[in-house]
């Protein structure tokens, strides 16, 4: 074959291969959706209830999890007003997705989420990283025999990922009035090198936190696993240490990233801080800052936000629903490490006065607004700096998103 013709054939083949590889991305850009092959169900719509001027203006990132037979589960970017799909991706039937957001990896914007089964229990799942052309560039899996849980997938500036996992084991609880062979569910934090998959740090709750700190009722049978800790978040604090949050001890632990030692505890039965409330703010009925909480977010200057569930439903406790306040809220807390004082400086209540028995998050936006995903409730909201409700939207019955975010996505 003549050289020019051969080169032309090679170029044509390469062009065709690239076009074929990018076809799903092109279809996604044109239609605003990208689904799993053969998936007939759509993702659920978001009904806008309130939309006032002054919102942050960035796109909405949600991961609708559907128990409604009319809809699929997956991840979705919506326009700032929540009415138009920018991009979406459904997951296979029987799976769900969680913690869908924009992050940065190797200096580039990426989309990340967890996908799997059993969120909130003995989970089986994988974390995914997609580039800004909607192509998968990496998968992150838990190491040392564990499987990644969907509560957190946080990429760090070190090129690592902070993830969570659960494990079932047996504990001797006679010291706290329990059986000698109680099955328990322990929480594990791992830091994974994304490029190599190597575990560079691991923290096991049972090695650092006494079982007596749990607020979760023990099951009647030793054979029923006791979810005594329920790790649900890990963040990098402003000084580089890790914030590890546990729903079932009502506590956030500041953990050394080198030794794993707990440096301080906020909330729960053994808090390092004296609790106070600013004028106009109130602690809950148990006189704690929060209960059954999620998503501690460090803001700097000693300020932190929390999604304060204030409730654990029947599915969490195995018995009657437990609640401290009749509604969920977002708390802003000021810590003074010198005086060991924690002050509740602001709380924003759920607009409908409802209680989220699980899940949830709060994100402080660039303009000072607060974007909130109401966890097990089907709502997504945004509040102005003064606490005014600017945006509120609702999923159909049987649908919720574990977290919700706003990001500038191009």
- Both 150 and 235 in one domain: the answer is yes
Encode pLDDT of 168-195 as tens digits: 999 999 999 999 999 999 999 999 999 9
Encode pLDDT of 331-379 as tens digits: 999 999 999 999 999 999 999 999 999 999 999 999 999 999 999 999 9
- Both 252 and 279 in one domain: the answer is no
Model pLDDT, residue 353: 95
Would 104 be classed as within a structural domain? no
The answer on pLDDT for 88 being more than 50 is yes
The answer on pLDDT for 151 being more than 80 is yes
Model pLDDT, residue 56: 84
> The sheet that has 361-364: what strands, in order across it?
47-51, 389-394, 379-383, 370-373, 361-364
Encode pLDDT of 241-263 as tens digits: 999 999 999 999 999 999 999 99
Encode pLDDT of 2-60 as tens digits: 444 444 343 343 333 333 333 333 223 333 455 544 458 999 999 999 999 999 899 99
- Both 252 and 217 in one domain: the answer is yes
- Both 262 and 288 in one domain: the answer is no
Model pLDDT, residue 285: 85
- pTM metric for this prediction: 0.90
Q: Provide the percentage of residues in the chain whose pLDDT is more than 70.
A: 89
Among residues 357, 383, 405, the one where a domain terminates is: 357
Model pLDDT, residue 120: 78
Range of the domain at 177: 142-268
The answer on pLDDT for 63 being more than 50 is yes
The answer on pLDDT for 213 being more than 80 is yes
The answer on pLDDT for 112 being more than 70 is yes
CB under 8 Å, gap of 24 or more: what pairs does 263-270 form? Answer: 264/337, 266/304, 266/333, 266/335, 266/342, 267/293, 268/213, 268/215, 269/212, 269/213, 269/215, 270/213
Q: Around 130, how many Cα atoms within 13 Å sit in the side-chain half-sphere? A: 18
| Average pLDDT rounded to a whole number, residues 303-331 | 83
- Both 279 and 313 in one domain: the answer is yes
Bridging pattern class, strands 294-300 and 274-277: unpaired
Model pLDDT, residue 337: 96
- Both 176 and 258 in one domain: the answer is yes
What residues does 334 pair with on adjacent strands? 303, 343
The answer on pLDDT for 94 being more than 90 is yes
- Both 323 and 286 in one domain: the answer is yes
- Both 263 and 309 in one domain: the answer is no
Among residues 268, 294, 329, the one where a domain terminates is: 268
Among residues 229, 249, 268, the one where a domain terminates is: 268
- Both 150 and 248 in one domain: the answer is yes
Tokens standing for residue 251 = 């506590």
Would 318 be classed as within a structural domain? yes
- Both 231 and 326 in one domain: the answer is no
Q: 80-99 burial, b if ≥16 CB within 10 A, otherwise e?
A: bebeebbbbbbbeeebbbbb
Tokens standing for residue 338 = 């010198």
Model pLDDT, residue 169: 97
* Other beta carbons within 10 Å of 201: 16
Question: What is the C-alpha to C-alpha distance for residues 77 and 72, in angstroms, rounded to an integer?
Answer: 15
Model pLDDT, residue 70: 97
Question: What is the C-alpha to C-alpha distance for residues 253 and 214, in angstroms, rounded to an integer?
Answer: 13
Would 62 be classed as within a structural domain? no
Would 169 be classed as within a structural domain? yes
- Both 196 and 223 in one domain: the answer is yes
The answer on pLDDT for 136 being more than 70 is yes
- Both 256 and 167 in one domain: the answer is yes
């Amino acid at each position: 074959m003549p050289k020019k013709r051969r080169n032309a054939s090679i170029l044509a083949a390469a062009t065709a291969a690239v076009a074929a590889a990018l076809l799903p991305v092109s279809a996604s850009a044109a239609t605003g959706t990208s689904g799993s092959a053969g998936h007939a169900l759509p993702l659920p719509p978001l009904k806008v209830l309130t939309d006032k001027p002054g919102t942050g203006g960035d796109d909405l990132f949600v991961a609708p999890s559907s128990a409604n037979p009319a809809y699929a589960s997956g991840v979705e970017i919506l326009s700032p007003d929540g009415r138009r799909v920018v991009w979406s991706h459904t997951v296979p039937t029987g799976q769900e997705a969680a913690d869908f957001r924009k992050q940065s990896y190797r200096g580039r914007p990426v989309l990340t989420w967890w996908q799997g089964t059993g969120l909130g229990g003995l989970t089986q799942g994988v974390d995914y990283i997609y580039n800004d052309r909607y192509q998968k560039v990496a998968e992150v899996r838990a190491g040392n025999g564990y499987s990644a849980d969907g509560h957190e997938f946080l990429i760090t500036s070190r090129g690592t990922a902070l993830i969570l996992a659960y494990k079932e084991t047996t504990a001797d609880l006679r010291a706290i009035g329990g059986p000698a062979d109680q099955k328990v569910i322990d929480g594990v934090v791992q830091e994974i090198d994304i490029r190599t998959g190597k575990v560079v740090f691991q923290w096991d709750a049972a090695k650092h936190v006494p079982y007596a700190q749990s607020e979760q009722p023990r099951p009647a049978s030793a054979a029923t696993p006791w979810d005594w800790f329920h790790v649900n978040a890990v963040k990098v604090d402003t000084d580089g240490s890790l914030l590890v949050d546990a729903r079932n001890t009502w506590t956030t632990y500041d953990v050394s990233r080198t030794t794993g030692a707990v440096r301080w505890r906020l909330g729960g039965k053994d808090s390092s801080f004296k609790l106070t409330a600013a004028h106009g703010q109130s602690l809950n009925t148990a006189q704690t800052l929060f209960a059954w909480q999620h998503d501690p977010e460090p803001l700097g200057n000693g300020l932190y936000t929390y999604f304060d569930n204030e409730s654990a439903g029947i599915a969490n406790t195995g018995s009657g629903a437990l609640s401290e306040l009749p509604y969920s809220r977002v708390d802003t807390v000021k810590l003074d490490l010198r005086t060991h004082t924690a002050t509740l400086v602001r709380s924003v209540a759920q607009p409908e006065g409802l209680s989220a028995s699980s899940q949830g998050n709060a994100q402080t936006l660039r303009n000072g607004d607060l974007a909130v995903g109401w966890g097990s409730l089907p709502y997504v909201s945004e509040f102005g700096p003064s606490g005014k409700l600017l945006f509120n939207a609702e999923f159909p019955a049987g649908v919720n998103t574990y977290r919700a975010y706003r990001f500038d996505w191009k």
